[in-house]
Structures are given as C-alpha cells and as structure tokens.
Amino acid sequence: MSIDLIIVLIIAIPFGVLFFIANYFEHKIIQLHASLIAGISVSYFFLIVLPEIAERLPEFPFHLTIFEYLFVLIGFSFIHVSEKLILQKVEIKTQKKMRKLIKKEKILESVEHNMEKILTKEITHENLDEVALREIARTVSELNEEEERTKIEINNYKIKIQNKLNKELTNFRLVTDYIYHFLVGIILIGLLRIELVGGILFFVYAFFRTVVTKRSEAHLIFSDLEIYEEQKYEVKLIIKYISCASALTGIIIGLIINLFLPGNLELLFIFYSFISGVILYVIVREVIPEKEKGNPLKFMIGLVGFAVVIIIINIYSAVL
C-alpha cells in the first residue's frame, strides 16, 4: 500500500465513523437550521459539483457535451421515479374509498347546513308546524350521526394508508440512503486521492446533508387526504447497523478499488455525477424549506459563507 493511500485511509476512516454516528443517532447530536444547510447545499452544488463534472469527467460517446451530465440526469430521475412509484401504489383501493368518503362528508355537511337553515326559518314563523319541525329535527339528527360515522371511517382509512406509507417509505429510504452513502464512501476515497481539500469539502457537504435530512420536517404526501410522511416506522437493529455503516463500507470498498485500480477515474466520476443528480433532487425536495417555511437570512448566511470559503480555497490553491 502506497504512502498516499495510507494518508487517505487515516483521513477517511474517521469520516466514515462520523457518518455512522450521524446516521445512528439521527437528529440527537447536531441541531442545524434547515435554511442554513439549504444555503450551503446550493453553493456546494453550483460552485463545486457542476464545475467538477464539467472539467473532470472523461469523454463520452460522440464527444457530445450533453453526455457529461447524463448520469446527473439518471441520478435525479432514479430517486424521483422510484419515490413516485411507491406513493402511487400505496393502498390504491383504500385511497379511492377515502376520497369517496371525503366527497360524501362534504355533501352531508352541505345538506345538514341547508336543513339547519330551514329549521331556523320554520322556528321564526308564527304558526309553527310541530310535525314538520320534528321531521326536520330528526333528519338533521340522522345527518349528524351519518357524518360522524363517515368521519370515523375516513380516519380509519387514513390510519391504514399512513401506516402502509410509513413502512414503504422507510424501506425505500433505507435502500436509497444505503446506495447514496455507499457511493459517497467510494467517491470520498477517490477525491481524497486526487485532491485532499476537494475530498474534505465533499465530506463536509455530504455530512451536513446527512444531518439535515435526518431531521427535516414531515412532507405533505397526499394534499387532498392530509397525509404526511412521518418517521415512525421502526426497523430491526441489525438492518439499522448495516444501513448506518454504508459510508464506512463504501470507504473500505473504495480503498480496495484504489489499491487494485488506482487510475480508474471514469468509474469514479460516473459515480460522482450520479450522486450529483441525487444531491440536486435532495436539495429541491428535502433540504430547501417548503413554501413560506425557512429563514431567508440563515439561507443567505449558508449560501454566501460557504461560497466565500470555496472561493478562498480556490484562490489559495491557484497561488500554490
């Protein structure tokens, strides 16, 4: 094993341990504002990721520039399509039944409101029709009971969909997070071998991304059903250990690859561009706070602060 690979090993193993700790303890160690991480993420993607791909990817078929970003597109699409397929197949029949019940509930509320208006109008009349009033009151009472039964049924369907959704999305996140962190480990070794500073910057961003996505707020999945993605589904401890050690596993595999195939830059940057697509999707979907949420000042602090760090490092590297 060469001296530079030993140095990379000494740096990379502690990084892998930090990834394990961040994944295992999730949001219990570091509390970072999502807007701050969003700013850092945007700076990292536009000032490091895209220039890295444009300058250092190998030539692809037909010598077309578009192929430089092909695997970025694949990475972005892979996560997006996989997530959509899961959401669209979760309890399809239950979703349809729930939507029908919600429509029924709205109709009942409308009819009930109209009956109450009729009842109020009848009470104000001088000549009260007691039989008609009793009939209207009975109808309103039945509508109330039917509405309550409908709400209970809707709630039961909602719980069923929510539980299934939590299970499916948890399994999906386990697989995608494992692939992501495994590739991060491999890429980290390759980047550290090429340029220590670039590799360390990559680790800093990837680590922050791990921290913020583990503590991000629940996302609204079905807006019409008011169902959110929740992190409540528990997994087996052994699966959690394997998942948390994915970056460390990637680092070990990366070391083996670099030991036997030290000059294989094409594989490294295919992985890197694929991960870049995943990073872009995560920034848009998970890291940047939704709609009115978030803190613009903290976003700008993260954006400008990390941009300044990148610029200073690049100026210093150019001078050397």
CB 43 within 8 A of CB 306: yes
d(CA 104, CA 43): 49
User: How far is Cα of residue 298 from the mean position of the Cα atoms in its chain?
Assistant: 20
Give the contacts of 99 (CB within 8 A, at least 6 positions apart). 224, 225
Q: What is the mean pLDDT of each run of 10 residues along the chain (320 residues)?
A: 72 86 68 76 85 68 68 88 77 71 76 69 63 71 76 75 75 83 88 80 78 56 63 73 89 84 72 86 78 83 88 76
* Domain segments of the chain as ranges: 3-89+176-319
Helix (H) or strand (E) holding 6: helix 3-25
In this prediction, residue 304 carries a pLDDT of 93
d(CA 121, CA 138): 16
**3-state SS class at 122:** helix
Torsion of CA 206, 86, 235, 173, to 10 degrees: 0
Residue 213: what residue type? T
In this prediction, residue 300 carries a pLDDT of 92
Other Cβ atoms within 10 Å of 269 Cβ, number: 21
**Region for residue 129 given its phi and psi (left: phi exceeds 0; alpha: psi -120 to 50; beta: otherwise):** beta
